[in-house]
Structure 1
Amino acid sequence: MTGTFSLASQLRAAKADAPEQRSDNTPLEDIGFVFQVAGSSSQILIDLKSIDALGHHPDPCIAMTGQVGSQVKMRLGHMWIIANIRSMVLDRRDSTRVVADIDFLGEGNEEFGTGVIVNFRRGVTRYPTPGTPIFPVSSADMDQIYAATGRSHVQIGTVYPTTHTRAALYVDALLGKHFALLGSTGTGKSTSAALILHKICEQSPKGHIVMIDPHGEYSAAFTQNGALYDASNLALPYWLMNFEEHCEVFVTSTGDDHARDSEILAKCLLAARAKNRAAEGMARLTVDSPVPYLLSDLTTIISNEMGKLDKGTNSLPYMRLKGRIDEIKTDPRYSFMFSGMLVADTMQDFIAKLFRMPADGKPISIVDTSAMPSEITSVVVSVLSRLIFDYAIWARNEPKRPILLVCEEAHRYIPNSTIGVGQSVRKILERIAKEGRKYGVSLGLITQRPSDLAEGVLSQCGTIISLRLNNDRDQAFVRAAMPEGARGFLDSIPALRNRECIICGEGVSIPIRVSLDDLEERKRPASADPSFSDLWKQCGGEEDILSRTIHRWRNQGR
């Protein structure tokens, strides 16, 4: 190791004719040198005295040099190579030095006479040799490294640890290859999602975004630039369900009985759809065809089929189906979907309002499912997701109208379990993740439990935005899905502050740690945690609160 240090001294002397400059135009000394170079993991030696000397530098980037998560640069001819420090350990042979593992991020040209990086690009074409001096990265370098380079982008925050370098998300890459927003409860996940969506809406007021909101948080954030739908005004026609979704709603039996009931439902459903005049001109009518039918027709056909049975044939499957359909028809909680007023062929109007075609300055639809019965929520999300995907397939020869589907609490709808209820929504969202970008459908997944997502879905997301994750299993899951060059950034995920995130993938030039912008109060979701200490100091009016609450409870209304 002593011989290596001597070689580094000679190399530094040979390159002293073009020293790195700092903000006050005085040369910055190198802080160490490249010790070992490998394709997957390289190492540098850093002089602790050099790091201590830079600790009070006015440039926050230079002051942070030598810490885990910071960047360093090294010169190769007229090029600079940028690397991220992943881990550090004290050199056992010399306690004044540190051995650091680094990941190479990219390279750029040197601006003549300043030492600042320009024309930065991801990836490296040449590796440095052992002994190459290491220099701090300045804020001026960071401005160039994270510059948006003319691509369509939105700015969402400030690059850590700078005070002014703006963090940009490349919109086309972000949406073209799906994205995931991850973070434990209380880390600012909902506000971060609202921030990103607001920025996209501001840039594209004629866009088409559908957001599934299971907690009713986001309606408050998009009152000005979004169309808001819930159980009171969604008016989702039941006949838009395909056969699998019909089975999830109407077939309650299990085992062999489930197969028998499903077979009867398929026969009767096809006959009910065939009674509609719209089906007369169709060359091929199936149980999945989105043709309106009357629920009363369906129950009548079931009764007629039951009447044809021999006395010895079991009529219980027919009675189960008819009873379940009658139960749903009379349950007011299901009226947003199974109302007798939803029989008309409103498919075009429904898709136009849901997909924002035209947007009319409100490019995002917020679908609040919080007041819908929990046993049918997954079917509602399945129908909406499938409509988006089916529309994209059947409109592929038309002028392109890309659609972004955002799913909050995504682990509910794409669980890692392949058994149980809700498999229809799991299948369609997995298909969108795999095939959606070919047809102009983008998927945005928001979850606090990435380890509960179906295997492989997270790896389909080209961009991963991770706030703090407290669970070790979740951290390991995200680490496995992110590119290898981001490992140094991933190690800081447990230590992130609220509203701070790591972004890796196609949507950014290189992995980046971001302090997210604040949102105006009127643009924030209603996701703030209650203050028990403050609210428990208030009293009075409890009788009226209980009366109003019980009234809504009994009437299943807001």
Structure 2
Amino acid sequence: MSSYSEEDHAAATGSKVVTSGRKLPAIGQVVEIAGSGSRVIMDAERLNHLSTDADPSVAMSGQVGSQVKVQVGGSWLIANVRTLKSGDVGEIIANVDFLGEGSQTATGSLSGFRRGVTRYPIPGAPILPVSTEDMRAIFAADDSPHVEIGTVYPTDDIRGTLYVDPMLSKHFAILGSTGTGKSTSVALILHRISQLSPEGHIVMIDPHGEYSAAFKSCGEIFNADNLQLPYWLLNFEEHCEVLLTTDGAERQRDADILAKCLLAARTKGKAAESLGKVTVDSPIPYLLSDLNAILVNEMGKLDRAGDTLPFQRLKTKLDELKADPRYSFMFSGMLVSDMMGSFIAKMFRLPSNGRPISIVDVSGVPSEVTSVVVSVLSRMVFDYAIWSRTEAQRPILLVCEEAHRYVPKDENAAGQAVRKILERIAKEGRKYGVSLGLITQRPSDLAEGVLSQCGTIVSMRLNNDRDQACVRAAMPEGARGFLDAIPALRNRECIVCGEGVAIPIRVRFDDLEPEKRPASSDPSFADLWRQTGDEAGIIDRTIKRWRGHGR
């Protein structure tokens, strides 16, 4: 094995082993072919010799996660090294996954790389290292719309690109443990997409108020102070989540009463007169005072005092919501006018006017209704896409940070309305021009099947074994060699695989300008605990904001 030389390779293939003007020695040979995964034997001495090569790609040859190539006819096949183990003396046995192929040029280098393999090598075919010039040909972006996000590992200058249309049309997920630079990387990707498509339509759910600072120059920021989400846009299920306080049989009884009274209130509104059919889900303005009056009227028809309890519960909850200033963004009397058109226009950026992204900061929204707010926004994105099918298409990207909160694995968790709509968007959104971007640090806590609906997965470092196993199950076979690197990734480094890239890649994200970064940097305890002064003023101002906000 160790005596296998480049002359042997030349004899076997009838050509010289030349890549980018220099001869590269064969480092091994194929011993077993099995579909996407195959086995090769490599020469440990050759690999050690190449490890000091000036070309970083050649120096990486034979390592887990690196690429090697095999000649078949006039083509080069590119394979990714997945596992290594010791064989006979001086030999290393490796499992490899074939990623794609490209044509061989007159100088022996690679060109026109494409995913997939049309013809496999036979056992005994020589294995060669991949040079930086080969890497450049593999990762060269074609003419389809794409954004550059960073540098391909282990090179210094080859750019990692995401193809926008395949990535968005088949959904994507960005995963990474806390502290890996996930928020900054999300901001980078959305900034690059916004620069490519300044008339785009992106809605981002921001549960921690991190992204407002990052997009103030190119987006619109909505929070509890200016969101103005009319209560009448809620469908019946969302009304139930906000207004019902009971469980079991009592909850079902309360829901039946609410359905009857809500339908009567919607039918009473002026907008209902012009519509032939009104349902309990129709987004038609109605007066809270009408709903209240109908509840009181229905309650008055009852003989026994015990029968009035469900009505009393609903009325009490309604009065609480109207009186609580925390809910004024949703249950204000000012929101009764038919502002559905203007709400959709500003929220979905129609038109964008060069500010294609809406950041919906729900950190100031009362926690009891956060999932309902996310549900309404998500459902409106989907419903708008369905009902505007006969119009000029305006695809919308919905990005959901902390996605495991809204699509949890636990099917009995609260907030079922938001879970249902996000699962439906994951399954059906692409038919209607709705793209879903899920961002989470706990992929193992996501509902099963949702991650597998994401055609592109961007995985940063994941420290938890369950999370790693979850990502492994969702990634395509050809990316298996990269998965072993996930626990060892540095901050702001990721593995990208799926529809949005030509082949699976490991990328070091670009640095983002300070003014475009989210407010998510971790505090330095060591530095901040050395500082003192104005503690009384800090406490006074904080309490004033705290009380004024009412949370």
- Alignment TM class, shorter chain as reference: over 0.9
Structure 2 length-normalised TM = 0.98
Counting only pairs closer than 5 Å after superposition, residues 517-556 of structure 1 correspond to structure 2 as 517-556=510-549
Instruction: Give me the whole-angstrom Cα distance separating, in 2, the residues matched to 1:9 and 1:356.
Output: 60
Per the alignment, residue 124 of structure 1 pairs with 117
RMSD: 1.5
Per the alignment, residue 9 of structure 2 pairs with 12
Is the CA contact (8 Å cut-off) linking 1:19 and 1:28 kept in structure 2?
no
Q: Percent identity?
A: 65
Per the alignment, residue 302 of structure 1 pairs with 295
Name the SS for the 2:521 alignment partner: coil
Per the alignment, residue 22 of structure 2 pairs with 26
Unaligned runs of 5+ in 2: none
Instruction: Give me the whole-angstrom Cα distance separating, in 2, the residues matched to 1:11 and 1:270.
Output: 82
Per the alignment, residue 225 of structure 1 pairs with 218
CA positional deviation for 1:11: 5.4
Per the alignment, residue 42 of structure 2 pairs with 46
- Point out the more displaced range, 50-59 or 350-359: 50-59
Instruction: Give me the whole-angstrom Cα distance separating, in 2, the residues matched to 1:38 and 1:245.
Output: 52
Counting only pairs closer than 5 Å after superposition, residues 197-208 of structure 1 correspond to structure 2 as 197-208=190-201
Instruction: Give me the whole-angstrom Cα distance separating, in 2, the residues matched to 1:503 and 1:26.
Output: 31
Deviations 1:119-175 (A, max 9, x none): 111010111100000111011111111111111100000111111111110000000
Instruction: Give me the whole-angstrom Cα distance separating, in 2, the residues matched to 1:38 and 1:267.
Output: 63
Per the alignment, residue 101 of structure 2 pairs with 107
Deviations 1:254-312 (A, max 9, x none): 11110010001001101111111110121110010000011111111100000011136
Per the alignment, residue 414 of structure 1 pairs with 407
Deviations 1:74-112 (A, max 9, x none): 101110000000010111xx2211000000000010111
Per the alignment, residue 207 of structure 2 pairs with 214
Unaligned runs of 5+ in 1: none
Is the CA contact (8 Å cut-off) linking 2:213 and 2:516 kept in structure 1?
yes
Instruction: Give me the whole-angstrom Cα distance separating, in 2, the residues matched to 1:147 and 1:355.
Output: 34
Is the CA contact (8 Å cut-off) linking 1:8 and 1:133 kept in structure 2?
no
Instruction: Give me the whole-angstrom Cα distance separating, in 2, the residues matched to 1:513 and 1:38.
Output: 25
Name the SS for the 2:507 alignment partner: strand
**Quick one: which of 373, 390, 394 aligns to 1:380?**
373
Counting only pairs closer than 5 Å after superposition, residues 361-510 of structure 1 correspond to structure 2 as 361-510=354-503
Is the CA contact (8 Å cut-off) linking 1:210 and 1:354 kept in structure 2?
yes
Instruction: Give me the whole-angstrom Cα distance separating, in 2, the residues matched to 1:490 and 1:529.
Output: 27
- Is 1:162 the counterpart of 2:155 in the alignment? yes
CA positional deviation for 1:21: 2.5
Counting only pairs closer than 5 Å after superposition, residues 63-74 of structure 1 correspond to structure 2 as 63-74=59-70
Deviations 1:462-499 (A, max 9, x none): 00000000000000000001111110011110000000
**Quick one: which of 275, 279, 288 aligns to 1:286?**
279
Instruction: Give me the whole-angstrom Cα distance separating, in 1, the residues matched to 2:300 and 2:13.
Output: 97
Is the CA contact (8 Å cut-off) linking 1:251 and 1:321 kept in structure 2?
yes
Instruction: Give me the whole-angstrom Cα distance separating, in 2, the residues matched to 1:283 and 1:72.
Output: 66
- Point out the more displaced range, 171-180 or 57-66: 57-66
The residue type equivalent to 1:51 in the other structure is: L
Is the CA contact (8 Å cut-off) linking 2:19 and 2:109 kept in structure 1?
no
The residue type equivalent to 1:496 in the other structure is: L
Is the CA contact (8 Å cut-off) linking 2:6 and 2:26 kept in structure 1?
no
CA positional deviation for 1:9: 8.8
- Point out the more displaced range, 167-176 or 537-546: 537-546
Per the alignment, residue 82 of structure 1 pairs with 78
Name the SS for the 2:421 alignment partner: helix
Per the alignment, residue 265 of structure 1 pairs with 258
Instruction: Give me the whole-angstrom Cα distance separating, in 2, the residues matched to 1:537 and 1:296.
Output: 56
Moved over 3 A (4+): 5-11
Instruction: Give me the whole-angstrom Cα distance separating, in 1, the residues matched to 2:428 and 2:474.
Output: 18
Is the CA contact (8 Å cut-off) linking 1:11 and 1:132 kept in structure 2?
no
Q: Report how many aligned residue pairs link the two structures.
A: 551
- Point out the more displaced range, 30-39 or 224-233: 30-39
